[in-house]
A and B are shown apart, each in its own frame.
Chain A
């Protein structure tokens, strides 16, 4: 940076006032993006891996371990495309996952605990941050989405189960209830009932993969890791598609009685008829 009326940012000259405004813009966009990604990612995640993430007696060694990383790598991959190619920022995965965790805790505490009386021990969200950090660093160090997919996306899924075992283990202690062996997590969800979510609805491991020594979580993690590579590649390209700027004429405003002063009446009528929608313009990246 230089003294005087301008500053140098990343090799380019900026008027001081412009640099200051751009910083304010940074903060505004960061705040808006935080809320938007929290909402969107949370919605996506709840629709695809919701029950596994919500309930302590759904976090099994097979389905939860397989599906969660596959469904959770989507937004990080798409955002990594935008953040990296447009801004050279290797923080998209961590940012997305922190947003998701924020949305989950808000949802669990206010929605499930305070509003619906579920104890917090029944509705703890999964942790994805370590995998996201590795995904970001993989992109930073390789600078290439293919290598990031093969290393970072792979690690994103592999780290999922050990990361969550830190806090999950106390809920897998064995207890005897009515002469039956169950885990603490099973009993918590049995005791604090979910009216419309009976036991049989759970999509959980119902048998052991004996061929692999009974290590369901390890097998599930590796399978998830392979699929996560493909999901990462697919969602990187979805990010690419969604980052394209596409505009269409605003026909809606005519229905609301708003017209452009300088727009001829005929053009306005065409907009109402929808004919001008054919005149779509696509701006290049």
Chain B
């Protein structure tokens, strides 16, 4: 017989470990709040800045009752300077980022083509989308339009808080089949049949198991097999074999006739549909303003992106820089009224940095004119959205869209892209911890 000594120090360690374990369990149970978003800030900046840029996104309403509709519309452009480590969008799917299916998607379209199947998309082209959502689970939900790209994952559009009110039990999604059946609610369709067949086979399985388990089981059977004098013929009797054979025949007959009966009940069925949709991009609009990035810095203590760019207006109307869009953050030039007018009242405020976009010369760029300007997008969003971590990435090229407006409010879009060089110090002694500067 072996016995163990229990040292005093070990005792202390065990007690401390137990206390730590209890604390950890307590923290896990009581401290965390509900997860409210989808980890979009955890996606690498190059992924969010140089893949899908969503713009003109509108929500028909921010609140709906159960069974009520919310229509999300907008456009997206697939950025031409696509990250080299991501596969091209040979297969893409219009999704919606939700915390589970809290809203049912009843319709979705890309450029008017039903988006129930995946499709191929092209870089540097624009697409229009529409998604119809139906309130299902009451609550306050963060919902994104989204493009899933095979191999690249979910590329999220701007997230908005949508509120669903009412009772979940009132939800219904009805449809009529082409063979004439009316499905009252897809949530519960076919479940009676599922429970019946699963229940029947579980019951038969339990009969088979109990047939054997009712007799002495493990040690007596093991001894009978391994020790002299054990009677093996009692372990499996002829009655057992007869019962087994009967069960075999019954099983095959139930499967055969059940299959026939099901085929008779549902004579017209179709396999899962796996084709690919064909979607043509929106007509190509030539870039009116050519943008050349001369220098771009990210000022770490100032939380500010500064770019020196040369703009050339190749169009026949003037162009005024109104907005920088990157990673769903809309830096709007407050001096351009046409740009300010594009902000939808339902647009999420956290995606509209209050300082907007500062341009050293906001005067309209005349047709044929070339001008070099400094632009600055300063906001804590670079940190809170974890975009400044671009400086730690192996690919630190930033990307975004610049929106220009003419005197009539007509908009043209230009791509902007360039390497981002960080600036870690500045003359005002500002630091990330002390962004206002000074001795402190």
Contact = CB atoms under 8 A, between A and B. Distances in A.
B177 interface: yes
B230 A12 contact: yes
B176 interface: yes
A134 B251 CA distance: 8
Interface stretch (B236-244, B325-333, B386-394, B411-419): B236-244
A260 interface: yes
Nearest to A104: B198
Given A87-B217, A89-B221, A193-B98, A177 B269 contact: no
A195 B220 contact: no
Interface string B384-418: 00000000000000000000000000000000000
B202 A101 contact: yes
Contacts of B223: 9-10, 12
Contact of A10 (B106, B107, B176, B221): B221
Contacts of B9: 257
B260 to A, nearest CB: 9
Contact of A172 (B137, B225, B270): B270
Interface string B265-303: 110111111110000000000000000000000000000
A259 B150 CA distance: 56
Interface string B172-187: 0101111101010011
A196 B99 CA distance: 11
A269 to B, nearest CB: 15
Nearest to B102: A117
B30 interface: no
B235 interface: yes
Nearest to B259: A162
A179 interface: yes
A193 B96 contact: yes
A187 B185 CA distance: 12
B212 interface: yes
Interface string A1-29: 00000000111101000010011011001
A257 B3 CA distance: 13
Contact of B232 (A58, A88, A206, A253): A88
Interface in B1-46: 2-7, 9-10, 13, 38
Interface stretch (B64-72, B203-211, B366-374, B422-430): B203-211
Contacts of A251: none
A191 B105 CA distance: 4
A198 B93 CA distance: 6
B254 interface: yes
Interface residues of A, number: 97
Contacts of B235: 10, 87-88
A111 to B, nearest CB: 11
B198 A183 contact: no
Given A88-B225, A260-B4, A195 B38 contact: yes
A178 B148 CA distance: 21
A182 interface: yes
Interface in A85-100: 86-91, 94-95, 97-98
A101 B200 CA distance: 13
- Which of A138, A141, A173 has the most C-beta atoms of chain B within 10 angstroms of its own C-beta? A173
Contacts of A176: 178
Interface of A: 9-12, 14, 19, 22-23, 25-26, 29-30, 57-61, 86-91, 94-95, 97-98, 101, 105, 116-121, 124, 127, 129-130, 132-134, 136-138, 140-141, 159, 162-163, 165-167, 169-188, 190-196, 198-202, 204-206, 216, 253, 256-262
Given A163-B258, A194-B101, 8 more contacts: A29-B218, A87-B218, A101-B198, A134-B248, A136-B244, A169-B263, A173-B179, A206-B274
